[in-house]
Structure 1
């Protein structure tokens, strides 16, 4: 039970909601790190009924707290995919083949009841914004006043951080070529492009594609095209936001060796860094909402 309405311990229970899992832990705000003994990762059926999904989340959160039962966190902060009412804690996810059952559900009220929290102790943040905030404040972005970050995975997320304040810029919804940017910079683009070039399916996404790099000539072409498209798209936004560094996050970044050099060349002289915190970044970034004026961020 989190029963302290005054934020005094410097520790926040935090979680990241993925498409098929939840990761939770307790964040030490002063040191910007997740206490390793509290880290919990649990599978979640995102197509299950609402009660089953919420029960899974609650169980993981309680499990994380139980790993350090002597410590009473000051609040709970969650990195959530959108569309979501982040201030009020209501889900509006629809048409994304995940968490459809939560549409219109007051997640804040549910968790407040199950964890015996006050509403003021629960906060939500966009998942991409959380990840980039975590990287910017904890490791990769240190020493920079203006940071731009993108998350590359099942979706294309984006945020900018200026003087320690990170905000979502939702570039994935921007028009690009025949659709929107999200369709070109996420995992589904790789699957679509590989089938177009080879006639074969790509079942395991970018990880599978990267494993074929030494045996399939199409792989190099695909990653080269990806780097060129991304650089062309990002260049205008780099000109607007004037970041000192670009941080690349997400699962696709793990195949960075296959497109990183070209992206760096296209966007030079902008410095590019890869994410260093993996899934802890979203947890730290979500918890960071308790370090500043929440309403100004939202």
Structure 2
């Protein structure tokens, strides 16, 4: 592969930053073998620590690339100008109002001729579309982790407006039963609901994480089963009208919670069909290449922006 066809990317989440080189071939995209670096990231750290960690991951890729970076990270963020808008969201708040693009460009120097930012859920959706053969013309991708991410794609391009598209394409902005969807379906919401249903945690006992609650459900914990079924069914109910109006041809779900697919799929399906019976025929697929899709999506977006 040539340097020109090799794009450097960063994928930034609430607990990590991943750097990799993505290569474009005549027949598709791949993450270069051996190029991936994943570093832990504390979303509550100072701006200096956050940017320093991002730069350290980026520098691990060396210089054998086209220097046009794709950077996928969660919102709220001014993706056009590279400025953080993290206010009262419980993560990356030290980057609120901070010019990430300017700072990271300075840290990378000649390794970065451009930095193109995009939402991490959009990167996931773009990558999933690129990796699927054949790909759905109207594809909806949902990420379940710290929060609820989403991408509504038309021919591989994220839609931000239009019939069936939630505000800015973001399902976390959907209001469900009088509150934000993430107050019902998110890591913090599920952990809180389980703790409250158990009558509050005992002093000194650790709060269960979602994967632990899922395992308790499999072991017969009726409280865990009720909490998870309620959360994932609610997700299906909340997004059903949007998927129906959008004309979704396929739904792909990724993120850490998708690891509990045996619990996620039936509940989401019940929620969808309970609201919109026609969605009983909608294909629902678990992403088996979540990180790869995010990285490839970021690289493809760089190319698309450069050609636009």
- What is the CA distance between 1:29 and its match in structure 2? 2.9
Aligned to 2:166: none
Contact 2:21 2:65 in 1 (8 A): no
Q: Is the 8 A contact 1:172 1:180 kept in 2?
A: yes
In structure 2, the partner of 1:105 is 98
Instruction: Give runs of aligned pairs for residues 79-118 of structure 1, distance below 5 A.
Output: 79-117=72-110
Shift >6 Å, 4+ stretches: none
| Structure 2 Cα separation of the partners of residues 288 and 231 of structure 1 | 29
**Secondary structure at the counterpart of residue 280 of structure 1:** helix
Please list the CA deviations of residues 262-284 of structure 1 after superposition, one character each: whole Å capped at 9, or x if unmatched: 43353411110111212222111
- Out of 258-267 and 34-43, give the one that drifted further: 258-267
Alpha-carbon separation, structure 2, partners of 1:114 and 1:138? 32
Matches within 5 A, 1:67-86: 71-86=64-79
Which digits, 9 at most, give the CA deviation of each residue in 1:66-94, with x for residues without a partner? 3xx5x223411111111111011111112
Structure 2 unpaired stretches of 5+: 161-168, 274-278
| Number of the residue aligned with 1:4 | none
2:35 aligns with 38
Contact kept, 8 Å, 1:10 with 1:74, in 2: the verdict is: no
5 Å-filtered alignment, 1:1-298, equals: 9-30=4-25, 31-63=28-60, 65-66=61-62, 71-117=64-110, 121-139=114-132, 142-167=134-159, 169-201=169-201, 203-213=207-217, 214-265=219-270, 266=273, 267-293=279-305
Contact 2:139–2:249 under 8 Å retained in 1: yes
Gapped runs of 5+ residues in structure 1?
Answer: 1-6
CA contact (8 A) 1:28 1:34 kept: yes
Is the CA contact (8 Å cut-off) linking 2:67 and 2:112 kept in structure 1?
A: no
Whole-Å separation in 2 of the counterparts to 1:117 and 1:282: 25
Query: Structure 1: how far apart are the matches of 2:59 and 2:224?
Result: 43
Aligned residues of 1:129 and 1:167 also touching (Cα < 8 A): no
Distance 1:44 1:174 in 2: 28
How many angstroms does 1:295 deviate by? 9.6
Q: Is the 8 A contact 1:226 1:259 kept in 2?
A: no
Q: Please list the CA deviations of residues 53-110 of structure 1 after superposition, one character each: whole Å capped at 9, or x if unmatched.
A: 11111011001x13xx5x2234111111111110111111122232222221211112
How far apart, in 1, do the equivalents of 2:57 and 2:197 lie?
Answer: 42
Asked if the contact 2:67/2:113 (under 8 Å) is kept, the reply is no
Structure 2 SS opposite 1:45: coil
Between the aligned partners of 1:60 and 1:16, the Cα distance in structure 2 is 10
Contact 2:68–2:112 (CA<8 Å) still a contact in 1?
no
2:42 & 2:144 partners in 1: Cα distance? 22
Q: In the superposition, relative to structure 1, how do residues 44 and 228 fare at CA in structure 2: closer, same or farther (>3 Å)?
A: closer
RMSD: 2.2
Query: The residue matched to 1:46 in structure 2 has which SS?
Result: coil
